Chain A
């Protein structure tokens, strides 16, 4: 019997007992839902982590020279953590030295930050990330100015008390008022607001607009970094290849400047978007290793359920099998009928699982800050798994059906 015929027959049987069919394929449905949803979320996270997290937090084609990592997404041992703090800090002199000696085209910005309270006419914005940096910072981090302007190189050189504020601060302190030209008090010192940054929205539900940027030379600098010391030197090259070259050069420059022996490890850190992703890569790696196991378990359970349902179907439909045999069905016709039926059943389960999995992924995307992106390969895998689980589960019941004796089967009630 042609395959198409068998599939049509199977669909007719499945349609005629919808509820029972649904329950029988629930295991496969769950397994596949799980597969699709988890892969979609991991995939979505990957894209999100790369595009948003890494590139927004660290910047495209950007890396920074730091004393220690600041974005730590994995687990770090206590000792290692402590050793980071014993390292020498990055100084203005380090920054200048590196700036002068990197040969590929690059933009640099010295950078320091800390949490501070900003106030205006009795209103306060607490826990604001106050950044002290250079004018090049806006270019490196792609900070768009919604109104007003960024500070200039001259303002940095002369240490002007000017500040560019994040959207959230504009909202909090200057509701209904144009903040441009207004004053803001930072750590007891008056500043002039010269620009408001474009709204950046949230990252994992955390606002990206709670910051203020001032020249690193401005009066409040002593509140964010000790004299002559930097949190980091931001470095942006023009393309990924130059980033690699620049990183190599910065590493070599710092090692020679600090007179590290070849067997000594770096006592500074180069933060890259990739390094920021390390922890996530570990987590997604674990998920991706555990996933096949979890999916396999539910598929095995699903397969056993289908096998039992098919065994039941064979005994319930013994008479039908007898009729078919009486009309000339060969063993292999009956065998393929039940295997195809089982595979079709399972495939329907897989199809429903794909739909619910995608649905679930998008639900997660809608109600949590986590993103989702359906991976086409996971759908292909789901379909293949669905069909094979059904076929394997169907073989034994189908063999029993095929072996039935026509007259005995016809006599069955």
Chain B
């Protein structure tokens, strides 16, 4: 098996809600290896998004360990975390989270701006990333001039542009119709085929069917973790 990119051990996350404590994650242990394609499933409220935010270094765990590429990120400073988000992680959101006032190209360039890539290289790399997701002809469009599927492709291009070690997607097809969802899934499969490690949250079984491995969460714990029959392993 490939080297582990992600190692989480007994990861917990709770929220204090005015006296009441909500346990979103109750101790999750999981390893994800290079070039895996993992789907995270589970009922609503089971802690999928909470876990993804933790994996994406957007949120910090209440307890447990998170090792990313052999580095314990739960101990990093704010700036170091920003660097990890910038270089190691590509995050795709359900709601796209594009800058409304910026063109597709500029949206894709953003991570490169924060890693200090000079303007000329930035442009060519952003164009390359947009080309990879089939949007080379829509670079100058703003998000509101693009369809939902196209917006999500821009978001994927943005997630990929800095060549992250892992691509995280929280319900990437949640706001899309089934045809468009299939298109986005094809993009993910292609990226996986090119060696990209992918972790994706979904609660649609036919979307999860694209992945090699399915982890099911329930009530903040891993309920099952199995390889997908039928998917190319």
Contact = CB atoms under 8 A, between A and B. Distances in A.
7 residue pairs, one from A and one from B, having the closest CB atoms: A328-B86, A328-B114, A330-B82, A407-B58, A407-B59, A327-B111, A328-B85
Contacts of B158: 327
A16 B114 CA distance: 22
A196 B91 CA distance: 90
Contacts of B98: 323
B16 interface: no
9 contacts: A5-B119, A12-B102, A320-B99, A323-B98, A327-B111, A328-B86, A406-B85, A407-B59, A410-B97
Interface in B156-170: 158, 162
A322 B59 CA distance: 12
A333 interface: yes
Contacts of B172: none
B109 to A, nearest CB: 10
A199 interface: no
Contacts of A13: 101
Interface string B88-124: 0001010001110110000000110111100100000
Nearest to A15: B101
Given A1-B113, A320-B99, A333-B114, A326 B58 contact: yes
B78 interface: yes
Contacts of B79: 330-332
Interface in B54-84: 56, 58-59, 78-79, 82-83
A55 B80 CA distance: 71
Nearest to B56: A326
Nearest to B159: A327
A328 B115 contact: yes
A319 interface: yes
Given A12-B101, A319-B97, A330-B78, A325 B113 contact: no
A333 to B, nearest CB: 6
B53 interface: yes
Given A407-B58, A410-B58, A330 B97 contact: no
A331 B59 CA distance: 15
Given A333-B114, A406-B58, A328 B87 contact: yes
A156 to B, nearest CB: 82
Contacts of A407: 53, 58-59
A356 B113 CA distance: 36
Main secondary structure on A side of the interface with B:
helix
B53 A329 contact: no
A324 interface: yes
A330 B78 CA distance: 8
Given A5-B113, A324-B110, A410-B58, A329 B82 contact: yes
Contacts of B110: 323-324, 327
Contacts of A12: 101-102
A333 B56 CA distance: 19
Q: Most chain-B Cβ atoms within 10 A of its Cβ — which of A13, A323, A324, A333?
A: A323
Contacts of B102: 12
Contacts of B78: 330-331
Given A406-B58, A407-B58, A327 B101 contact: no
Nearest to B84: A328
B85 A327 contact: yes
A410 B79 CA distance: 18
A321 to B, nearest CB: 11
Contacts of B86: 327-328
B211 to A, nearest CB: 23
Interface in A221-259: none
Contacts of B53: 407
B161 to A, nearest CB: 10
A324 B110 CA distance: 8
Nearest to B85: A328
A126 B59 CA distance: 92
Interface in B169-209: none
A327 B114 contact: yes
A328 B97 contact: no
Contacts of A406: 58-59, 85
Contacts of B87: 328
B82 A325 contact: yes
Contact of B82 (A320, A328, A410): A328
Interface string A344-370: 000000000000000000000000000
Contact of B114 (A319, A322, A329, A410): A329
A326 B168 CA distance: 12
Contacts of A320: 99
A329 B119 CA distance: 17
Contacts of A331: 78-79, 82
Interface in A262-285: none
Interface string A1-22: 1000100000011001000000
A325 B85 contact: yes
B87 to A, nearest CB: 7
Nearest to A405: B59
A5 B115 CA distance: 13
A326 to B, nearest CB: 6
A5 B110 CA distance: 11
B201 to A, nearest CB: 15
Contact of A328 (B59, B99, B111, B119): B111
A326 B86 CA distance: 8
Contacts of A324: 110, 114
A330 B115 CA distance: 10
Contacts of B91: 326
